[in-house]
Amino acid sequence: MDNKICVIIPVKGEGLKIAECLNSIFELDYSVFEIIVVDDGLQDNGLAAINSFNDQIKILKSDSRGPSYARNLAARQTDARFVAFTDGDCIVDKSWLKELMRGFSKFPDAVACGGRQLLPQDAEEFEKKVYLFMKKVGFITDYMNKRGEDIVEVNHNPSCNVIYKKDVFLQNGGFLEGLWPGEDVELDYRLKRKGYKMLFNPRAIVYHYKPKNMVDFSKMMYRYGKAQGVLVRKYGLFRKIQFIPVLCILFLVLGFLSIIFGFFLYMIISGLFLLLIYFRFKLSLVQLGINGFFSWNAGFIRGIFN
C-alpha cells in the first residue's frame, strides 16, 4: 500500500473524451491504484459516460466549484500515498504511472514529478498547429517541458500530467481554489519557495487534445493570460512569460514623450517579440501566433486589474 496511487480527474461539460481517458488508465502497467472522477458540472452525455464505469471508479460531485476544488476534494477522499492528476481530454501512456514513480525512485526527497505532453494520433489539423505553437513558445513557458531523456528538477509541472506525495500536497493546502487555470503554477511556486524538489520525467507521457478552432484557442490563451495576471498581482513577477507585457508597457512609458513615438515603439517591441516566436514557425501559423499573443495579453491585463 506504500506506493498506492489515486488518479484524479476533474471533468465538466460534455466530457467528450472521458471514456477514452478512463480506458487508457485501465490499461496502465501499474498494480496498485484507484481512480476518482469528479463531476464538476457534467452534461447528460458526460454523466452517462462516467456512470458506465461506476463499478471501476469512484465518482464525486463538486457542485461546479472548479477543477482546483474538485482535485482537492478527491485528494482528501483517498487513502493512497500519492495523488496523480490528469485531465478528461488526455489519453495516458501505458507506463505513465510507472514513469512518474521512477522520479521518486531516483530522487526520494522529491515531492512531485511531472511528464511530457504529446498530441494524440487522431488530433485534427488545427490541434496540430496549436501543439506546435505551444511547443515553440516553450522557451518562455513551462507548459511544454524540457527536452532530453533524463529526469531533471523543474519549477513547475502542468496539472494534466503530474503526481504529488499526498501528505505534502494536503499539508500545503493543495490547489488554490477559485483559480483556474494557473492553479498548478501557483501551487508549485509555493512548494518551490519552501524548498521542495519537483521533477520532470520525459518518459511519463500523456496525449493531450488541444482546441479545435480559433475561437476556442483564443479563449484558452485569454484564460492563461488572465491567470498569470492574477499571479503577478498576488506574488509579483516570478516567471519569464510574465515579463512580456511588463516590458511592452515599460517601453511604451519610456517612449511616452511622444504619443506617436510611444505607439510605434510599443508596436516595434511587440513585433520583435512576435518575430522571436515566429522565426521557428511556418507561415501558416502566423495568424495563430498573433491571435495567441493579443488574447494572452488581454487576459493578463484583465487579471492584473480585476
Q: What is the DSSP letter of 254?
A: H
CATH 3.90.550.10 segments of the chain: 5-208
**pTM score, two decimals?**
0.81
Question: Cα(100)–Cα(226) distance, rounded to whole angstroms?
Answer: 30
| CATH code 3.90.550.10 for 5-208 | yes
Q: 161: which 3 cell numbers?
A: 500530467
Condensed to tens digits (0 to 9), the pLDDT of residues 161-189 reads 999 999 999 999 999 999 888 899 999 99
| pLDDT exceeds 90 at position 207 | yes
Question: Cα(228)–Cα(296) distance, rounded to whole angstroms?
Answer: 9
Q: Is 258 exposed, middle or buried (0-12, 13-18, 19+ CB in 10 A)?
A: exposed
Is the pLDDT higher at 162 or at 241?
A: 162
Supply the mean pLDDT for the chain.
84
Condensed to tens digits (0 to 9), the pLDDT of residues 118-164 reads 999 999 999 998 888 887 776 455 555 555 678 999 999 999 999 99
Condensed to tens digits (0 to 9), the pLDDT of residues 49-106 reads 999 998 899 999 998 999 999 999 999 999 999 999 999 999 999 999 999 999 999 9
Question: Cα(113)–Cα(62) distance, rounded to whole angstroms?
Answer: 26
Question: Cα(73)–Cα(65) distance, rounded to whole angstroms?
Answer: 10
